[in-house]
């Protein structure tokens, strides 16, 4: 390569990098605002975590001020939505250790697997058969309801290649029904305390909450109102669900790759599988974290950086989401999410009671 070609190549990449700065700066400023709002007690008590607040703030700005800034900021916003998201999912592994699995035992693991798989397949069946929703919307809503809310929706988006509007619809269902859970679950626990028709302790109710509520922040909010034992069990159960995100993404990627080849009427051969490498690195990060090789204070700093990365990706998603597109989605996605929420509560009670009865 000649000196002129090297110079042109370098100049091209410098210009491309400079184009990213305005969008990344805008997303960073909005992320800082969302993080500040997330420290306000009212929002904490409502279980509205930083990620939820970030996308809501992004949607507000995206439908008011952002159209005037889009030409300048679009490159940086796309970068934030794509690359910062993957980096955030990988670093999310530092929130988990394999030791957490042993703390809830086989009972908690089995409950999480049953609830995740049943909720997701129910979403596929009902969403396609009764509501005739497209596969992208159904998969995103199913992932958000069955695994870990907004983070699962965002992690699934690169695999299904869904537009921002469908991602926002799926996340809005997490916000609606996850917020409802914050009020319903403590009421169920208090009602059962006065009328003990279900065999629940604080620990077992915590596992029930962790295995069925959408967001980590919502699980923490519920557990905190019930007591330390319930909160600890709820968070550990929820973290195991989060850990199941990686194998879920790998299986989903393999399934979609095979379906794509089949639909294209390819010649009989092994279908190529698009491996979501960020999911593989997510598992590797959790495995590395299980050895506790890094100082705890350093891990806390990594988690703080991870929250910023994920929140920035959420802001970027919100900025590219149009309210009109969400309205066009109609009532069907909300009805699907409502049915899944009812299953998570009622079916979750049945599954939790049944598994605890069988394995006690």
Q: What is the number of other CB atoms lying within 10 angstroms of the CB of residue 62? A: 26
Q: What is the number of other CB atoms lying within 10 angstroms of the CB of residue 61? A: 18
CA–CA separation, 36 and 5 (whole Å): 47
Q: Are 185 and 148 in contact (CB under 8 A)?
A: no
The distance in angstroms from the start CA to the end CA of the chain is 70
Does the pTM surpass 0.85? The reply is no
Q: What's the pLDDT at 9? A: 45
Q: Are 277 and 87 in contact (CB under 8 A)?
A: no
* DSSP designation for 272: P
CA–CA separation, 226 and 187 (whole Å): 10
H-type alpha helices, 46-163: 50-62, 66-79, 85-91, 99-129, 135-143, 150-160
240: number of CA atoms within 13 Å, CB side? Answer: 29
Residues 6+ apart with CB under 8 A from 35: 50, 307, 308, 311
* Dihedral pair phi/psi, residue 39, rounded to 5°: -90, -10
Q: What is the largest distance, in Å, between two alpha-carbon atoms of the chain?
A: 82
Nearest alpha carbon to residue 179 among 306, 42, 353: 42
Residue 203: both structure tokens together: 């620990």
* DSSP designation for 230: H
The residue assigned the tokens 């699995």 is 101
Nearest alpha carbon to residue 279 among 160, 178, 182, 159: 159
* CB contact burial 164-185 (16+ within 10 A = b; e otherwise): bbbbbbbbbbbbebbbebbeeb
Dihedral-angle region of residue 358 (phi above 0 means left; psi in -120 to 50 means alpha; beta otherwise): alpha
The alpha carbon of 178 is separated from its chain's Cα centroid by a whole number of angstroms, namely 12
Give me the tens of pLDDT residue by residue for the chain, a chain 360 residues long.
555 554 544 554 566 778 999 999 999 999 999 999 989 988 877 767 788 788 889 989 999 999 999 999 999 998 998 888 888 878 888 987 887 767 777 888 899 999 999 999 999 999 999 999 999 999 999 999 999 888 899 889 889 988 888 998 998 888 889 878 988 999 999 999 888 888 888 889 999 999 999 988 788 878 877 887 888 788 888 888 888 888 999 899 888 887 776 666 555 554 455 566 777 788 889 889 999 999 999 999 999 999 899 899 889 888 987 777 677 778 999 999 999 999 999 999 999 999 988 876
Q: Are 240 and 171 in contact (CB under 8 A)?
A: no
Q: What is the number of other CB atoms lying within 10 angstroms of the CB of residue 248? A: 22
Q: What's the pLDDT at 1? A: 53
CA–CA separation, 272 and 183 (whole Å): 45
Q: What share of the chain is helix, strand, coil (3-state, %, to 5)?
A: 85, 0, 15
């Amino acid at each position: 390569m000649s000196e002129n070609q090297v110079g042109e190549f370098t100049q091209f990449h410098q210009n491309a990098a400079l184009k990213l700065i305005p969008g990344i700066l805008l997303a960073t400023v909005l992320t800082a605002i969302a993080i500040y709002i997330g420290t306000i007690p009212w929002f904490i008590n409502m279980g509205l975590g930083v990620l939820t607040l970030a996308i809501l703030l992004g949607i507000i700005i995206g439908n008011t001020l952002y159209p005037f800034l889009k030409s300048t900021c679009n490159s940086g916003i796309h970068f934030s939505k794509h690359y910062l998201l993957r980096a955030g999912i990988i670093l999310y592994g530092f929130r988990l250790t394999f030791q957490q699995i042993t703390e809830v035992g086989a009972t908690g693991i089995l409950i999480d697997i049953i609830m995740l798989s049943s909720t997701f397949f129910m979403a596929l069946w009902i969403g396609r058969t009764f509501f005739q929703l497209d596969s992208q919307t159904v998969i995103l809503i199913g992932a958000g309801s069955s695994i870990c809310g907004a983070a699962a929706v965002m992690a699934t988006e690169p695999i299904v290649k869904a537009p921002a509007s469908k991602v926002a619809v799926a996340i809005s269902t997490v916000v609606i029904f996850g917020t409802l859970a914050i009020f319903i679950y403590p009421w169920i626990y208090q009602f059962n305390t006065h009328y003990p028709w279900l065999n629940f302790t604080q620990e077992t109710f915590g596992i029930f909450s962790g295995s069925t509520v959408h967001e980590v922040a919502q699980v923490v909010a519920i557990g905190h109102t019930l007591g330390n034992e319930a909160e600890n069990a709820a968070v550990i159960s929820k973290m195991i669900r989060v850990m199941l995100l990686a194998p879920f993404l790998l299986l989903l990627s393999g399934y979609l790759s095979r379906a794509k080849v089949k639909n294209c009427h390819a010649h009989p051969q092994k279908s190529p599988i698009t491996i979501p490498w960020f999911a593989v690195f997510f598992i590797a990060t959790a495995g590395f974290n299980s050895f506790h090789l890094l100082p705890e204070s350093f891990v806390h700093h990594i988690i703080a950086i991870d929250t910023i990365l994920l929140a920035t990706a959420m802001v970027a998603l919100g900025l590219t989401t149009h309210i009109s597109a969400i309205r066009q989605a109609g009532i069907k996605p909300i009805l699907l999410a409502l049915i899944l929420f009812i299953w998570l509560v009622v079916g979750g009670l049945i599954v939790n009671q049944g598994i605890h009865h069988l394995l006690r």
